[in-house]
Structure 1
């Protein structure tokens, strides 16, 4: 078994090497699971007892090491306020939960192999894996950061066809290639030829090269329709751990306005400010926002820009006198919902609000409600309200007075391809990401988050204007190229003429079709597992 564990660790190393932000390393994804598949095959063909358990452990080792090496910054963010042992405990959720699900996928694959052909077993493995990734996107402990298709964010020239499939097309591509390469290598190891070696070699090269060549041709030939709009993104560089303490809200607003004016042009239409940029001493009452000095200051600032709009993050709340919502907290005779929100302010008195929907488990919402309420003290100081945030059920598009539709995507939401596509389907002509990546400090977390935004640009053929409090802010064009970006941890503002787009890609229209097919495939595979054994 020792050699099998080494193979599992080799898979983990290859997958980590392939993961963003290492440039152009995505090609290693095509072989990342091959050592693990070889280790599992060895166990299946061995005389070991409890083979299913051993395969489960091998897959968990690969997943745990790969995940932990790629998202180590989760611990780094928590460690700012919490004792080390508490940070480690909480980190085990993202570090260990996904690997457990990965291991379950391999356990089911083993069960399929015991009763079905190799072809049907690999069909089930791929279907179960995509189903796991989808589950990890929709349940209360959602964390789709490590979806395999995200791994191509560092080599976006190869996945322009995400306009059709989204990131799950990348997951399918990775798994199909790994399976074929595994079969090729295993036949050589076992000195058999159940499938023609020549056909396998041709299949591998075709599967890798054909989508890559098509994508590169798309990348080179793609031309944006000219529909210009002048946009400014601002990076105020306020330490998130000091934002609500030592720096007065008035000074924060002055900093945002000064940075904006430094690069603004008379025809600037949108000023994008980061997550929670607009604040007061305490949260802002949305119904009374026009009476706040912050609103007055922003309105005065916009007087210089005829078509100007400020799209900003804001920490806000709403009061309900008679009836509580499921998320509202009671204060005396009133109920209050708190929001991590975005607001659009223009030259009129009209205000548009959007409340972040994809909330961070534990930080912004308590997963599984009352069942895990005993864990609230663990999350108490990690930048959120330990489950106290309310949310909107669906995306909201902000419209300027001139009719431009903007998608106000707040931080964590930008890693949901299907959710961002809903903004675009509703009329968003560009994507505005407002975020605060300072919680993670100077780690690969901020770089991964930036690169994942490239995938949203490609899937929907929309420019991305990204405003991050401490970095990295920038602009991404419709091909996924980072056209401008700021440095980390410096105050900065950037101005860019982008092209608005109204056309919808096939992915925007249809969504994650590959997921739906995989769910059907998983049901078929489960039926194969449950069918009575033939006598």
Structure 2
């Protein structure tokens, strides 16, 4: 058992070494799970009681160490919330391996390994879809800082990476199995299959990366990083903060600039959307934009709407006014006219911006407090909406956490967005790898959709990323800054943009079938025990 624990620890170390933002190590993911798979094989072969429990515990050990080491930075925002993040993801990962163990002795090993991939992909899809969503640790994200390896994400998205990584590890396991059985022919065949599985995607990616050329369609974008401490952002005047943003913007804005980006909640005043033109903020911004006739300013803000009746599931009732109201984490687009556009953040941080399973888990609200963002229960949109410039350029505006959803960003692009704008506030986590991981993940969205990314982060790291996933410019952490870039707009749709997470669905079907088989088998065993 001690040897198996060492195998588990080896996998956790390899997974951590391979994970962003550590550079040049992504390839380790292609064999990082092998020690753990060998450990589960060893347990399966031994004559010990409660083998399933041992498999679950040893895999949970691996994944809780890996998760904690990679997303430790959540602790800075919320010790309580971080524990949920560390444990829940590890629990679902370990459950995938436990299901693999349960089905391992019922079908051939090759079939069982396909089920393992199905179980894992099903876990990842669940973890991006339910109310406790946190797809940060999806395996395909692990390649983020090496775009030379994943240019084919424009066809598969990150699930293609997850399947590639898992299959590589499973093939290596089968080489190890053949070696244990002294099956030289099996070793040769499986080794050749593994080599082709690795080499072909890498060769295709390197060729695509070196030969990819953007269509020349320039647009000048300015990104502002005000560097306001998120824990003290309300200590100064709203208008002092607004003045700082304007002064930074004027440093780089030009006559031909078409977009200026300010970060998430850059305007901290609580704004009634229906009365925004009556605020002091509106004429201040209009005066700032006068010298720049083509500019559309996109800024984060906290806004609200009131209703006579309960119009949304998130609406709250105010007894004093006999009205319902919704608050939003919002992207607002201003231009040189009375036109104002709004997009309400939809992928909300569990517990902070949206209470997960609100009716059933309301008692957990204190645990989720300060999970990384502004506290409160926000309203949301059911689908993304593109924000447009006066000239008709469409921007896919992802607010913070939303940028880690490939399928969500692709919906924007499907609606004719020509570049991706990310507005975020990563200062909640401090100077940790959280901000770096978040930046690296933006590169995935660039490749999936072949769109430039303009990223405005309150305290950093702000950046421009081209259609190959290269970081062309980036700012320093915790310093006021402004950067500008002529990006190339793109209106073409990639295969991934058109079909989203298509590659995951067959494996989700396999995973569901596997769960049903395990459940049926357990029910049959219980029936025998009862003499049924």
Do both share a fold (TM > 0.5)?
Answer: yes
Aligned with residue 458 of structure 2, among 448, 451, 469: 469
Equivalent-residue separation in structure 1 for 2:372 and 2:495 (angstroms): 38
- Report 1:61-76 matches (<5 A): 61-76=61-76
Quote how far apart the aligned CAs of 1:514 are.
1.5
Matching residue of 1:42? 42
Change (3 A) 1:140 1:306: same
Aligned-partner SS, 2:204: helix
Aligned with residue 104 of structure 1, among 86, 89, 95: 95
Matching residue of 2:171? 180
Aligned-partner SS, 2:359: helix
Quote how far apart the aligned CAs of 1:202 are.
1.4
With the length of structure 2 as denominator, give the TM-score of the two structures. Answer: 0.96
Tell me the alpha carbon deviations over residues 76-95 of structure 1, each in whole angstroms, 9 at most, x when there is no partner.
122xxxxxxxx2x3322100
Tell me the alpha carbon deviations over residues 506-532 of structure 1, each in whole angstroms, 9 at most, x when there is no partner.
000011112111122123323544567
Equivalenced residues, count: 522
Change (3 A) 1:450 1:143: same
Matching residue of 2:111? 120
Establish whether residue 422 from structure 1 lines up as the match of residue 418 from structure 2.
Answer: no
Aligned with residue 312 of structure 1, among 299, 306, 309: 299
Matching residue of 1:515? 504
Change (3 A) 1:381 1:443: closer
Equivalent-residue separation in structure 2 for 1:158 and 1:325 (angstroms): 43
Matching residue of 1:131? 122
Quote how far apart the aligned CAs of 1:205 are.
1.5
Quote how far apart the aligned CAs of 1:28 are.
0.3
Matching residue of 1:147? 138
Establish whether residue 53 from structure 1 lines up as the match of residue 43 from structure 2.
Answer: no
Change (3 A) 1:381 1:68: closer
Contact 2:427 2:459 in 1 (8 A): yes
Matching residue of 2:162? 171
Quote how far apart the aligned CAs of 1:194 are.
7.8
Matching residue of 1:242? 232
Equivalent-residue separation in structure 2 for 1:6 and 1:97 (angstroms): 23
Contact 1:327 1:389 in 2 (8 A): yes
Tell me the alpha carbon deviations over residues 165-203 of structure 1, each in whole angstroms, 9 at most, x when there is no partner.
000000000011001112212333x24218522112211
Contact 2:175 2:186 in 1 (8 A): no
Matching residue of 2:316? 329
Contact 1:414 1:420 in 2 (8 A): yes
Aligned-partner SS, 1:513: coil
Aligned with residue 230 of structure 1, among 209, 220, 226: 220
Quote how far apart the aligned CAs of 1:370 are.
2.1
Equivalent-residue separation in structure 1 for 2:469 and 2:372 (angstroms): 31
- Report 1:112-511 matches (<5 A): 112-188=103-179, 190-193=180-183, 196-244=186-234, 246-280=235-269, 283-331=270-318, 332=320, 333-380=322-369, 388-511=377-500
With the length of structure 1 as denominator, give the TM-score of the two structures. Answer: 0.95
Equivalent-residue separation in structure 1 for 2:238 and 2:336 (angstroms): 22
Quote how far apart the aligned CAs of 1:394 are.
0.5
Change (3 A) 1:296 1:279: farther
Quote how far apart the aligned CAs of 1:145 are.
0.2
Quote how far apart the aligned CAs of 1:380 are.
4.6
Tell me the alpha carbon deviations over residues 264-302 of structure 1, each in whole angstroms, 9 at most, x when there is no partner.
11100000000001232xx11101111111111111111
Contact 1:379 1:386 in 2 (8 A): no
Aligned-partner SS, 1:366: coil
Equivalent-residue separation in structure 1 for 2:256 and 2:155 (angstroms): 35
Aligned-partner SS, 2:260: strand
Equivalent-residue separation in structure 2 for 1:93 and 1:379 (angstroms): 8
Equivalent-residue separation in structure 2 for 1:379 and 1:329 (angstroms): 20
Change (3 A) 1:194 1:133: farther
Equivalent-residue separation in structure 2 for 1:526 and 1:243 (angstroms): 48
Quote how far apart the aligned CAs of 1:387 are.
5.1
List runs of 5+ in structure 2 lacking aligned partners: none
Contact 2:74 2:372 in 1 (8 A): no
Which sits farther off after the overlay, 258-267 or 432-441?
258-267
Contact 2:295 2:390 in 1 (8 A): no
Tell me the alpha carbon deviations over residues 476-509 of structure 1, each in whole angstroms, 9 at most, x when there is no partner.
0000000000000000000100000000000000
Aligned-partner SS, 2:105: helix
Equivalent-residue separation in structure 2 for 1:48 and 1:150 (angstroms): 37
Contact 2:119 2:511 in 1 (8 A): yes
List runs of 5+ in structure 1 lacking aligned partners: 79-86
Matching residue of 1:81? none
